[in-house]
Amino acid sequence: MKTYTLYLFRHGLTKGNINAQYIGHTDYPLTTFGIEQLKDIKAKYHYPTVDAVFVSPLKRAMDSANIMFPKNNKIVIDNFIEYNFGEFEELTADDLKDNDDFKQWLHGDMHARPPYGESNAEFVQRVCADFEKVINGCISTGTENIAIVTHAGVIMTILSCYGLPEAPMAHWQMDPGYGYKLRITPSLWMKANKIEVVDTAPQSLADMKAEAGESND
């Protein structure tokens, strides 16, 4: 049976990542170090060859995609933008530790939202709606190898909703420039809306373990 391969990659490092800020819609560029880090990852592990690249509209994602996949045209998906943090944007957890709205949001349900931001439910709904369109479109057109370059929150949402093995969002964290390789089996997708997570990328899980073993010797 024909299968498809999907790669999910987080953008490179920004000033907001370094400062541990909540950065959603603010259009931070990559830092100089972030650009060089992506180039180093690419040289060492090689980003895969793909047929189509989908990307968040924000500069940090587009610039990362251009480094990872310079030969591919980029298809912008507006709803792959990061979470709208509202009044929490560009602040840190420490800045907000005494903020009652922040505490309520952290411990709230799917309908909790930052002031002037979006609720968790709204975020999941918009990400998932366009993700399903992308996957269905690739299957219908026979596009076998695709990549999505986006944000940590988007990737963790996709994997917590569709990934096998099933796991909560926090399980799917990844460093800038890294992500996951997934296998799409059309029958499984059509029946259960599930996709198998088969490895990390661009560095494989086996290579990670091997490097960790060498560093412990």
Q: What digits encode the pLDDT tens for the residues 90-141?
A: 999 999 999 999 999 988 788 999 999 999 999 999 999 999 999 999 999 9
pLDDT at position 204: 86
pLDDT at position 206: 81
pTM (2 d.p.): 0.94
pLDDT at position 208: 75
Answer left, alpha or beta for residue 90, where phi above 0 means left and psi between -120 and 50 means alpha.
left
Structure tokens, 105: 């949001």
Sheet holding 74-76, edge to edge: 74-76, 52-55, 145-150, 4-10, 179-184, 195-201, 163-164
Q: What digits encode the pLDDT tens for the residues 25-54?
A: 999 999 999 999 999 999 999 999 999 999
- Compute the radius of gyration of the chain from its Cα atoms: 17
In angstroms, the CA 10 to CA 61 distance is: 8
Q: What digits encode the pLDDT tens for the residues 53-72?
A: 999 999 999 999 999 999 99
Given CA atoms 92, 96, 102, 107 in this order, what sign does their dihedral have?
Answer: positive
Structure tokens, 38: 């992506």
pLDDT at position 109: 85
In angstroms, the CA 207 to CA 72 distance is: 27
Residue 184 contacts by C-beta under 8 Å, 6 or more apart in sequence? 3, 4, 5, 6, 135, 138, 139, 195, 196
Percent of the chain whose pLDDT exceeds 90: 90
In order of start, what are the domains of the chain with their CATH numbers? Answer: 4-216 (3.40.50.1240)
Length of the chain: 217
pLDDT at position 215: 58
In angstroms, the CA 69 to CA 12 distance is: 13
Q: Average pLDDT for residues 186-211, to the nearest whole number?
A: 91
- pLDDT higher than 60, residue 216: no
- pLDDT higher than 80, residue 75: yes
